[in-house]
Amino acid sequence: MADLSVNICGIDFKNPIIPASGVFGYGREYEEFYPLSKLGGIATKGTTGKLRTGNPAPRIAETPSGMLNSVGLQNPGIDAFIEKELPNLLHKDTVILANIAGATAEECAEVAGKLNDTDVHMIELNISCPNVKQGGAAFGTSCQMAEQVTKAVRNATKKPLVVKLSPNVTSITDIAKAVESAGADAVSLINTLLGMRIDIKTRRPVLRNNVGGLSGGAIFPIAVRMVWQVSNAVKIPIIGMGGVSSGEDAIELMLAGASAVQVGMACFTDPYAPIRIINEMNDFLDSQNIDTVREIVGTVQPW
């Protein structure tokens, strides 16, 4: 078997596959299918300063080769997460990335500060959230706001900090360089693309929030392109994601420059998807006589 272990920001992962934030909850339901210790890591449900009930339904809809969602960061709040969910996760023999979000830079920093006193391994900062102090524009859509929120969180914690980038921008490389300069230890990308569908009979959007985030296979080529672009723009590690549904997809993202890969929507259609992807990656590496998955990172050869 090939060596699938990777190291990101000084943290050892037994393999590069991480269920993405928002699809895996806190792992309790998936644990009925397989031990969570088989995973490289888990990115937890996005956590905010206070309890959030999320957006009104309907907030999920299928689309060709993908899914629209506007769940609205439903979560119990950071205190409940630390008290009820994190202790259980920390006993699962896998790396825990606590995904956090907030409506202000101060809220993000407060959440990170509380996690700093826990044994969580890494913090993943979601900058796709609206900044209420800037008229609702997402933190991740401007270099200035991305840098501001990253600095605030960096000052609040000594934990390895991964910043999750939004693809809904003109130049994702500029955003990546901004968060790198502000103290990010790594970046993860891509988050969902903004999309919309309309019910032609009712003439209303299929989501109550009108628009939502598009995920799934439809966005995979965009993820590959953006991971490749960012890998050529920053020196910090990249965790790739966006439509990954097979071991071959994960290999492709790593060739583009990702050191690890998150798996999202595939978990909904196949609860075993992360485990299957790990096995498929191993089979591919063995078939190519590649000893370690680390050998392939960033080795794409552009024309």
Domain-located, residue 28 = yes
Q: What CATH number is associated with residue 126?
A: 3.20.20.70
User: What CA–CA distance (Å, rounded) separates 108 from 130?
Assistant: 12
Q: How far is CA 291 from CA 16, 38, 239, 277, 284, in A?
A: 15, 20, 21, 18, 11
Whether this model's pTM surpasses 0.85 = yes
Residue from 128, 121, 79, 141 nearest 102 by CA:
128
pLDDT range class, residue 290, cuts 50, 70, 90: very high
User: What CA–CA distance (Å, rounded) separates 236 from 285?
Assistant: 25
Instruction: Assess contact for 148 and 171: CB atoms under 8 A.
Output: no
Verify cis geometry, omega within 30 degrees of 0, for the bond prior to 198: no
pLDDT range class, residue 133, cuts 50, 70, 90: confident
pLDDT range class, residue 5, cuts 50, 70, 90: very high
Instruction: Assess contact for 65 and 217: CB atoms under 8 A.
Output: yes
Residue from 69, 39, 47, 24 nearest 219 by CA:
69
What would the pLDDT profile of 95-113 be if each residue is shown by its tens digit? 999 999 999 999 999 999 9
b or e along 154-173 (b: 16 or more beta carbons within 10 Å of the residue's beta carbon)?
bebbebbbbbbbbbbbeebb
pLDDT of residue 49: 97
pLDDT range class, residue 289, cuts 50, 70, 90: very high
pLDDT of residue 130: 76
Domain-located, residue 278 = yes
pLDDT of residue 139 exceeding 90: yes
What would the pLDDT profile of 62-89 be if each residue is shown by its tens digit? 999 999 999 999 999 999 999 999 999 9
Annotated catalytic residue within 9, 108, 129, 143: 129
Residue from 217, 199, 212 nearest 59 by CA:
212
Query: Mean pLDDT across the chain, nearest whole number?
Result: 96
Instruction: Assess contact for 95 and 42: CB atoms under 8 A.
Output: yes
What would the pLDDT profile of 207-222 be if each residue is shown by its tens digit? 999 999 999 999 999 9
Domain-located, residue 260 = yes
Domain-located, residue 303 = no
The domain total for the chain is 1
User: What CA–CA distance (Å, rounded) separates 223 from 192?
Assistant: 10
**Which domain range does residue 106 map to?**
6-55+74-198+216-296
Domain-located, residue 302 = no
Domain-located, residue 79 = yes
Runs of H (alpha helix) within the chain:
78-80, 86-89, 105-116, 143-156, 172-181, 220-231, 247-256, 266-269, 273-287
pLDDT of residue 134: 78
What is the distance, to the nearest Å, from the Cα of residue 283 to the centroid of all Cα atoms in its chain?
A: 25
Please tell me which residue, 135 or 18, carries the higher pLDDT value: 18
Catalytic site residue 129?
A: yes
Domain-located, residue 111 = yes
User: What integer is the mean pLDDT of 145-159?
Assistant: 98
pLDDT of residue 136: 73
What would the pLDDT profile of 250-279 be if each residue is shown by its tens digit? 999 999 999 999 999 999 999 999 999 999
pLDDT of residue 131 exceeding 90: no
Residue 55 DSSP code: P
Instruction: Assess contact for 172 and 142: CB atoms under 8 A.
Output: no
Instruction: Assess contact for 159 and 120: CB atoms under 8 A.
Output: yes
Domain-located, residue 239 = yes
pLDDT of residue 28: 95
Of 127-141, 164-178, 235-249, the range with the lowest mean pLDDT is 127-141
Phi, psi at 28, each rounded to 5°: -65, -40
